Structure 1
Amino acid sequence: MDKQMDMLQQALAAYNLIPHCLVIETTMQKHFHGDDHFKIRIGEKAYSARFISGKRYEHDVFLPLTDTILAEQMQFIYFLNDNGIPFMRPVAALSGNAYHKFIWNGAEYRFFLFEWIEGQHITRCSPSVASKMGAMVRQLHTLVADYECSLPKISHREGSRTFLGLLEEAACAAPPECRELLLPYIADAKKHIEHAYKSTREFLMQSDLNPLNILWDDKEQLIGIIDFEHIGYTERVEALAWLVKWYSRAEGLSSHEFSPALAHSLLEGYGAADFMYPEDWERLPSLLWLTGCLNWGFVEKTRRILNQTDSAGPMKMELDAHLSKYSGRGKKLGALITD
């Protein structure tokens, strides 16, 4: 705790605050990006305080958070706040910059301070939550339709191809009996990648809008979006696929059960029928398959199974169960649109 307190006090010296009044209320759980993230209080005011280092992922699917990219992301946040989108509000350093760079124990960090938003996550979705989420994202997408910045227009297609390459690499090194299990799954992934990205794509800016980045009040009113490091261009129908996957789960994020009724509520709230062409509806099931069945969680678990020192027999059984679970998940995701 002393190390965390010292680090925060050094960072907060760059702000118009009183660091000796600092209280660390909560140390947030570290995810795979490894950021140090805290809820702090200075006097009567609560803040979200986050330290971001250089290398955050072992793969290159996400944008590297260079100073240029972070500056663009902060400008986008200011734009959203100025236009009524309930995004988290940055607190500027005394220098006027949206974040503060400093050296701690020989390592460089970027320190971000945001006003704290007190709310709750809703991970067990309801038709009302799905519809409201769809309506908010449609408002956001309409607002940013003409927003332009220098961030690269890269869709999840590139990420899907990276994940596919990792799977193919794992299959090449796997025992023959495990390779035989993987090859049909890899063939399905290739088919869905090809089908999902046939038409002309419309790019727009948004953040990661999964339920853990959305805050609601006790009356199920959306009051805050709290993710910023994944702000970037996304392909619009692809973004809609992720929303359908996230907000069609009535049993929580860890569930592999999906509700067509919730998917319909999300799409209706968004007003998908207003802009979706027939070819968009045709490729949406493949986009849904890719969101749920070719993501980092799936690939990382597959590689972990194949890197075990167990004999090929137990490894094959575990891999078979793993692939069967995700193959079933893919069918359920596709059924959200086709049923």
Structure 2
Amino acid sequence: MCPEDNQLISIALSRFGISYDSAIDHSISLSTFGIHGDKHYRIICNSNAYSLRLVADDRYSSETELASASDLNQQLYATDRIRAHGLPFMKRVQPTTDSNTFSLIRDDAGQAWRCVLFDWIDGTHITAQTKSSASKMGALLRQLHDIPVDSQFSFPVVDHTVAYQKWHHDLSKVDTVITSIEQQRLGNYLDLVQFHIYQAQRRSKNDMLPVLSTDLNALNILWKNDHIVGIVDHEHIGYSDRIQDIAWILKWYARNEGIHSFSVSPELAQTILGNYDMNIFDHDDFVRLKSLLWLSGCFNFHFVRQTFNLLSDSIVSNEELSNHLERYRQRGKALLSLLAS
């Protein structure tokens, strides 16, 4: 770690009543997260292990509708509520110098950081799913969704189709030098996207109430001895709806060869659905589920970014774009096959 990191860690830990002197030989920088620029450290102090997260103060205003200190407070208080209902969320540490659930500090350059501290959870990630892991994730999602909505939280209800609509509009307006044949192929793909967006927006009366939600992708779940021992994402806690979240879980936990493969297993998908208990849903809900599942895999951030890169490349070959679109078409067929029965 660089000296600037040590200084930030020292200031941050002091807000939680922890002396950095006792931790300096055991501070491990885990990552700086991609586009977010967050800093994440594993800290061992007096035999206690902690997860220290320094969240760039402008992250929320640039990424989501959650922009204020009160919103982050709500998310962290929600972790308490989730834990109270028996889910293994990281246990947060309350700052000793602030009534908020986090502390705000600045580095020498004036950059503001929101400091969040949790007790560390040891565990491993499972990325190639099994019937056992799929069953446990289906049950975990149902347990999360069954937590009663609390009036103390005023989260917006996240609607993934808002982002899909924006990306669809932006891609349809891109100036590009591709051939007319490739333009037609792209247009056909975007027509398919628009169809699934339309289907995904048709919520039934069975799924109108919001549910508590967070990002349960495979890299946010910790396992030990085939048991879920930790949920480590607090940044995406908010309200969603059941079908939208089930689609997200299916995309992640029907994968039988890991996160870098598009291979999915109908058996794993049915295991997830069986352990969630889908009896409360009807035919219209499953129609919507299919489209949300397709969109989550075939019109997600990674697809959109790759497509923009190909369209903006003046020397890209028509074959590259065609192969890119076909790869995701095949992924879509595989995802829809998960719900064919």
Quote the Cα distance in structure 2 between the aligned partners of 1:96 and 1:199: 40
1:28 and 1:39 in contact (8 A); partners too: no
Between 329-338 and 32-41, the greater mean CA deviation after superposition: 32-41
In structure 1, C-alpha distance between the alignment counterparts of 2:61 and 2:297, rounded to whole Å? 20
Cα shift at 1:175: 3.2
How many angstroms apart in 2 are the aligned matches of 1:51 and 1:122? 26
* Residue in structure 2 matching 1:79, options 57, 74, 81: 81
Using a 3 Å threshold, how does the CA distance of structure 1 residues 297 and 99 change in structure 2: closer, same or farther? Answer: same
Which residue of structure 1 lines up, in the alignment, with residue 103 of structure 2? 100
Aligned length: 332
SS in 1 for 2:44: strand
Larger displacement relative to structure 2 (174-183 or 5-14):
174-183
Letter in 2 for 1:87: F
Q: Which amino acid aligns with 2:330?
A: G
> Which of 278, 281, 291 lines up with 2:283 in the alignment?
278
The equivalent of 2:144 in structure 1 is: 140
- Superposed counterparts of 1:286-297, under 5 Å: 286-297=291-302
Which of 191, 197, 207 does residue 195 from structure 2 map onto? Answer: 191
Decide whether the 8 Å contact of 1:306 with 1:315 is kept in 2.
Answer: no
Structure 1 vs Structure 2 CA RMSD: 1.8
Q: Which runs of 4+ in 1 moved over 6 A?
A: none
Q: Give the corresponding residue for 2:54.
A: 51
- TM-score w.r.t. the length of structure 2 is 0.92
Q: Deviations over 1:245-274 (max 9, x none)?
A: 11001100111111000000000111112x
Whichever residue aligns with residue 321 of structure 2, its letter is: L
The answer as to whether partners of 1:285 and 1:334 remain within 8 angstroms in 2 is yes
Q: Which moved more, 1:21-30 or 1:3-12?
A: 21-30
**Closer, same or farther: CA 145–271 of 1 in aligned 2, 3 Å:** farther
- Superposed CA deviations along residues 40-98 of structure 1, whole A, max 9, x for unmatched, are 111201111111113449975x4444312101101111111222111111111112421
| Separation (CA, whole Å) in 1 of partners of 2:152 and 2:289 | 26
CA distance in 2, matches of 1:305, 1:58: 29
Contact 1:63/1:230, CA 8 A, preserved across alignment: no
| Contact kept? 2:92, 2:117, Cα under 8 Å | yes
Q: 1:240 aligns with which of 243, 246, 250?
A: 246
User: Could you tell me whether the CA contact under 8 Å between 2:179 and 2:318 is conserved in 1?
Assistant: no
8 Å CA contact retained: 2:310, 2:321 = yes
One-letter amino acid matched to 1:102: I
The equivalent position to 2:31 in structure 1, one of 7, 28, 33, is 28
1:304 maps to 2:305: no
String of CA shifts for 1:3-39, please: whole Å, max 9, x gaps. 1111110111111112111221342252221211111
Whether 2:212 is the aligned partner of 1:205: answer yes
The runs of 5 or more residues in structure 2 that have no matched partner are none
Bigger Cα displacement from structure 2, 139-148 vs 41-50: 139-148
2:147 and 2:212 in contact (8 A); partners too: no
Matches of 2:84 and 2:29, distance apart in 1: 29
1:119 has 2:120 as partner: no
Q: Secondary structure at the match of 1:144?
A: coil
Q: Work out the CA distance in 1 between the residues paired with 2:15 and 2:274.
A: 46
Residue 67 of structure 1 corresponds to 69
Aligned identity (percent) is 33
Q: CA deviation at 1:285?
A: 1.2
Which range moves more in the overlay, 172-181 or 160-169? 172-181
Cα 1:179–1:148 shift into 2, 3 Å: farther
User: Deviation digits for residues 257-316 of structure 1, max 9, x if unmatched?
Assistant: 11000000000111112x111211122111110110111110011111122231xxx432
